[in-house]
């Protein structure tokens, strides 16, 4: 009985190692890989401007704090889909310790569009993101298409509250300049895990972005820790355009999630493989015993 047990343990170990290289990912200790992913979180992973949420929002569902990276704007602009007219577009001075933004009113939430614009001689740079406030509010469909700046990257559509951009998913974005679609323009994608790729807009300015499979393997010890919440990775999309002697650069950053099906087929196959070996082990022992008896009888 010892040999089948050893065989099963060996197969289990091989499958554990194989799970690290599934979908082109590097093999290794899952805990070490997860620790490495944490290091990616804290380092500078892109040169493009970013607006990123800061931790410690507290219990107020209508207030958040954002950090500005790779840009030095004087203010953030917050756009809302509905609410009092004087609060549909607000300017908030940037502060070094993080800039606090609020929902259009304490009772109206949903998605808000947040941007920062920096203008220098011959160059205009814009960073944009969206932020979800938990209270009910209008859908962001019209808000996304509302003109805000010269060069724009517009999600078409934006994942809703319980949705997400995910690895291996395709999502559409509209490239637009002064309200008009930009055809045959490059849109670059960078993720915090090191992926860099580019896509090209069609005649209507639409770009289909394929999110890469680049999350590191999860730490099995933390797989059932509900306090950590779902795993997220940062990404940024950037486009550049020259017009009238001015260079425009715009970036949209947000978060994406691991492929929900990654590893399921591998684990299912592993289960069937181990089950098959368990069934085959008694037959192999019986065959071996029969062969020995045949030899003795001869």
Average pLDDT, the chain: 81
C-alpha 287/C-alpha 183 separation (Å) is: 69
Q: So what's the pLDDT on residue 288?
A: 60
pLDDT at 287: 58
- For residue range 49-83, what is the model confidence (pLDDT) as tens digits? 999 999 865 568 899 999 999 999 999 999 999 99
**Paired strand residues for 200:** 186
Banded model confidence at residue 102, pLDDT cuts 50, 70, 90: very high
208 has pLDDT over 90: yes
The reported pLDDT for the residue numbered 196 is: 98
Query: What is the pLDDT confidence band of residue 38, given thresholds at 50, 70 and 90?
Result: very low
Burial (CB < 10 A; 0-12, 13-18, 19+), residue 211, is buried
| pLDDT, average across residues 97-121 | 95
Based on its alpha-carbon atoms, the radius of gyration of the chain, rounded to whole angstroms, reads: 26
249-261 tens-digit pLDDT: 999 999 999 997 7
The pLDDT score that the predictor gives to residue 297 is 52
Q: Is 266 exposed, middle or buried (0-12, 13-18, 19+ CB in 10 A)?
A: middle
Least confident of 16-25, 64-73, 143-152: 16-25
Q: Length of the chain, please? A: 298
Q: Is the pLDDT reported for residue 279 higher than 70?
A: no
- pLDDT over 90 (residue 13): no
* Rounded average pLDDT over 192-207: 98
Helix (H) or strand (E) holding 41: helix 30-42
pLDDT tens-digit readout, 173-188: 999 999 999 999 999 9
pTM value > 0.95: no
In sequence order, which residues have a C-beta less than 8 Å from that of residue 103 and are 6 or more positions away?
Answer: 61, 62, 63, 80, 109, 112, 133, 135, 137
Adjacent-strand bridge partners of 69: 50
Q: Rounded CA gap, 292 and 258, in Å?
A: 53
169, 170, 179, 116: which is closest to 145 by C-alpha?
A: 179
63-69 and 99-102 beta bridge pairing: antiparallel
Q: Would you say 80 and 106 are in contact if contact means Cβ atoms under 8 Å apart?
A: no
Q: Residue 219's pLDDT is what?
A: 76
């Amino acid at each position: 009985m010892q040999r089948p047990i050893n065989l099963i343990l060996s197969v289990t170990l091989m499958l554990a190692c194989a799970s690290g290289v599934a979908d082109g990912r590097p093999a290794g200790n899952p805990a070490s890989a997860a620790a490495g992913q944490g290091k990616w979180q804290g380092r500078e992973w892109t040169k493009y401007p970013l607006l990123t949420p800061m931790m410690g929002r507290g219990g107020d569902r209508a207030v958040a704090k954002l950090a500005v990276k790779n840009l030095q704007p004087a203010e953030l602009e917050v756009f809302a889909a509905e609410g009092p007219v004087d609060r549909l577009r607000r300017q908030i001075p940037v502060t070094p310790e993080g800039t606090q933004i609020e929902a259009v009113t304490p009772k109206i939430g949903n998605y808000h569009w947040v941007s920062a614009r920096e203008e220098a001689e011959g160059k205009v740079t814009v960073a944009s993101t969206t932020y979800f406030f938990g209270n009910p509010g209008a859908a962001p469909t019209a808000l996304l298409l509302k003109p805000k700046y010269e060069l724009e990257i517009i999600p078409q559509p934006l994942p809703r509250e319980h949705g997400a951009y995910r690895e291996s998913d395709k999502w559409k974005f509209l490239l637009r300049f002064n309200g008009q679609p930009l055809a045959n323009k490059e849109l670059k994608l960078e993720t915090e895990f090191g992926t860099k790729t580019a896509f090209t807009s069609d005649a209507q300015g639409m770009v289909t972005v394929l999110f890469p499979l680049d999350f590191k393997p999860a730490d099995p010890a933390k797989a059932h820790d509900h306090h950590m919440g779902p795993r997220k990775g940062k990404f940024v999309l950037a486009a550049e355009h020259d017009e009238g002697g001015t260079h425009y650069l715009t970036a949209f950053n947000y978060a994406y999630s691991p492929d929900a099906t990654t590893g399921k087929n591998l684990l299912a196959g592993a289960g069937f493989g181990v089950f098959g070996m368990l069934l085959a082990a008694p037959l192999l022992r019986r065959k071996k015993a029969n062969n020995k008896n045949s030899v003795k009888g001869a």
